[in-house]
A and B are shown apart, each in its own frame.
Chain A
Amino acid sequence: MDRRRAWKALVLGAAASSLLGLTAPVDAAQGMDPHGKGAVGPGMDHLHALAVDPRDGTLLMGTHDGLHRSTNEGKTWTKVAPEGDFPGRDVMAIAADPKQAEVLYAAGHDLGVVKSADGGRRWRTAGAGLPAVDVHALTLDPNDPRKLYAWVDLKGLYRSLDAGRRWARVDDGPENPDVRALLSVNIPTGMGGIYLYGGTSDGLFRSMD
């Protein structure tokens, strides 16, 4: 059974976008930027995740060098020393519970999934049932924040229905398995659910959740 048929690419019009010049010239060096690569913040060269706390506007940034916090909208950063069980430092994703702002989840290359109930100070593991700790992307259902999705590199898409206590495999995910972003979006599918979007190295895909 093809477990990928449910994912649809959202890259329509790409040829037109190239003709219209919407694709900027790309530097030959991967990841280089025409404005120069600068040390603008700790770990900023390898940042992958950003979240804003609706209670006070604090920004939390996930990088290959752990978590960093800013209380002045990103002008300066302080490295966070996570308390509790935070078994890695290579953060790829942060997902915040829209109904309980103090509840956060993080995931990463060496981290699996971890959860905080106090805005990111103290953490505990929340990845039981995942087949590996290399989790590239993470999201939660905005209508039911106990439902989480995680993309486990080389393993596929996993779902938890109980706020990260247990996980089960869903499918192989989009056709291009290099998923770097997952987002559960409150757009009705017409079939009783909402859409799950996946960002890959071949663009954006979506699937009924």
Chain B
Amino acid sequence: MGGLPTNERVNAFAVNPQEPQVMYVGMRSGLYISRDAGKTWRKVEGELSGVQVAAIAVHPATPDLVYLGTPALGIFKSADGGKSWRRQR
């Protein structure tokens, strides 16, 4: 757990509309998730590590469904609120 990088652009920001303390930030270095309204952040590792995230969409009615737009690798999908991700292809 930690903060967000200070020297990087926030490309995208989204929240779970039903639990807005769950926040997603997309940066050039990857995806960061907070579950406490921004007090602490965790960087998502694995296939997404180091992948620029340019856009984020949270399903308005089923907010555990989250999509990421990455310029390099296309769309990633999570069906569990950001715990796991699968590249769409």
Binding site for B on A (CB under 8 A): 10-18, 20, 22-26, 30-31, 33-38, 40-41, 44-52, 54, 57, 59, 61-62, 70, 73-75, 96, 98, 101, 142, 178, 180-181, 183, 185-187, 197, 199-204, 206
Contact = CB atoms under 8 A, between A and B. Distances in A.
A24 B25 contact: no
B36 to A, nearest CB: 11
B3 A11 contact: yes
Contacts of A59: 57, 67, 75
Contacts of A12: 3, 39
B82 interface: no
B50 A25 contact: yes
Interface of B: 2-15, 17, 20-21, 23, 25, 28-30, 32, 37-43, 49-52, 54-62, 65, 67-75, 77, 88-89
A22 B32 CA distance: 9
A98 B50 contact: no
A35 B2 CA distance: 25
A50 B5 contact: no
28 contacts: A11-B4, A13-B3, A14-B2, A14-B3, A17-B2, A17-B5, A22-B43, A23-B8, A23-B43, A40-B74, A40-B89, A47-B55, A47-B71, A48-B11, A49-B55, A52-B57, A52-B67, A59-B67, A59-B75, A62-B55, A70-B75, A73-B67, A75-B88, A180-B10, A180-B12, A199-B9, A199-B11, A204-B38
Contact of A33 (B20, B43, B50): B50
A23 B72 CA distance: 19
Contacts of A61: 55, 69
Given A61-B55, A74-B67, A18 B73 contact: no
A41 B32 CA distance: 24
B8 A201 contact: yes
B32 to A, nearest CB: 8
Given A54-B61, A61-B55, A74-B88, A17 B74 contact: no
Contacts of B61: 54
Nearest to A176: B9
A141 B72 CA distance: 32
A103 B30 CA distance: 30
A201 B59 CA distance: 26
B59 A38 contact: no
Lowest 5 CB-CB distances: which A-B pairs, in order?
A199-B10, A74-B75, A13-B3, A17-B2, A40-B74
A181 B77 contact: no
Contact of A98 (B39, B60, B71): B60
B13 A24 contact: no
